[in-house]
Amino acid sequence: MAGFFGWILIHYIYNIYNEKGIKMDIKYVDVCCGLAWGDEGKGKIVSQLARDGGYNFVCRWAGGDNAGHTIKIKNKVYATHLIPSGVFFGVTSIIGPGCVVNKESFQKELTYLKHLGFDTSLVKVSPKAHLVLNHHISEDLEKQHKTQGSTARGIAPAYRDKYARAGHRVEEDSFFDKYLWDEKLRGKVLCEGAQGVWLDIDHGNYPYVTSSSTLPYGACSLGFPPQKIRKIFGAAKIYDTRSGSDPLFPETLIEDPELKQIIEKGREFGTTTGRVRKVNWLNLDKLIEAIILTGTGILIISKVDILEDLDKFKLTYESKLIEFSSLDDMIMFINYHVRNQCKYVKKLLYSDNPEEVPSLL
pLDDT tens-digit readout, 201-240: 999 999 999 999 999 999 999 999 999 999 999 999 999 9
C-alpha–C-alpha distance, residues 310 and 330, integer Å = 14
Higher pLDDT, residue 60 or 13: 60
User: Is 145 one of the catalytic residues?
Assistant: no
Percent above pLDDT 90 for the chain: 81
Is the pLDDT at 140 greater than 80, yes or no?
A: yes
List the catalytic residue out of 39, 161, 200, 240.
39
User: Is 69 one of the catalytic residues?
Assistant: yes
| Alpha-carbon 210 to chain mean position | 13
Chain segment 157-210, per-residue pLDDT in tens: 999 999 999 999 999 999 999 999 999 999 999 999 999 999 999 999 999 999
| Residues ≥6 apart with Cβ < 8 Å to 176 | 103, 125, 127, 170
Cβ–Cβ under 8 Å, residues 351 and 44: yes
Candidates 356, 85, 55, 21; CA nearest to 230 is 55
Predicted TM-score (pTM) of the model is 0.90
Q: Give the residues across from 241 on adjacent strands.
A: 279
Chain segment 48-101, per-residue pLDDT in tens: 999 999 999 999 999 999 877 788 888 889 989 999 999 999 999 999 999 999
Task: Give the pLDDT score at 67.
Answer: 79
Is the pLDDT at 46 greater than 50, yes or no?
A: yes
Tell the CATH superfamily of the 29-350 domain. Answer: Adenylosuccinate Synthetase, subunit A, domain 1 (3.40.440.10)
C-alpha–C-alpha distance, residues 86 and 93, integer Å = 5
List the catalytic residue out of 69, 130, 136, 145.
69
